[in-house]
Amino acid sequence: MKLAVTVQVASSRRGVPHARSLNRWAQAACAPYLPRNDSALELTIRVVGAAESRRLNRTWRNKDKPTNVLSFPAAPLAPGKNGVPTRFPAKEFSELGDLAICAPVVAREAKEQGKPAQAHWAHMVVHGVLHLLGFDHENDRDATAMEAREVKILAQFGYDNPYA
């Protein structure tokens, strides 16, 4: 299965990584979980400003503030094995979903946490894609599993553990 990533930039481009980087990070997060077939799967990454992020967060999560990344899965999840969700129960799925990444929040967090901006952007893409694949951090066990996957994927790009 091939992942087709569309990038929309609806905020200032200042500090926003190139679409090729966003695509590479998304591909790396998806690769272990994509079925081996000839179909295509679509992902949209929308880079937003604080106002749009706040509006989306308020509408979908009842939190009246902008946030770093929001994930909107396109299809329901299928049960998985060994803690790994199965996202693709049938061939007819053509969309993975959408990510909304808030550029000013990501920039602020990177600065506050003393992280390179590129590394934090990569983390937000990987984190968001894993949510689309069905991973979450609602309890300690799930958080530990999701974080381990994030660390492994980010290490492929030479980025440090974002949780250290």
The pair phi, psi for residue 109, each rounded to 5°, is: -60, -45
d(CA 22, CA 94): 20
Q: What is the 3-state secondary structure (H, E, C) of 57-100?
A: HHHHHCCCCCCCEEEEECCCCEEEECCEEECCCCCCCCEEEEEE
131 annotated binding-site participant: yes
Asked if residue 18 belongs to a known ligand binding site, the reply is no
Distance CA 47, CA 83 (A): 30
Structural contact between residues 78 and 86, judged by C-beta atoms closer than 8 angstroms = yes
Binding residues for Zn(2+): 127, 131, 137
Binding residues: 127, 131, 137
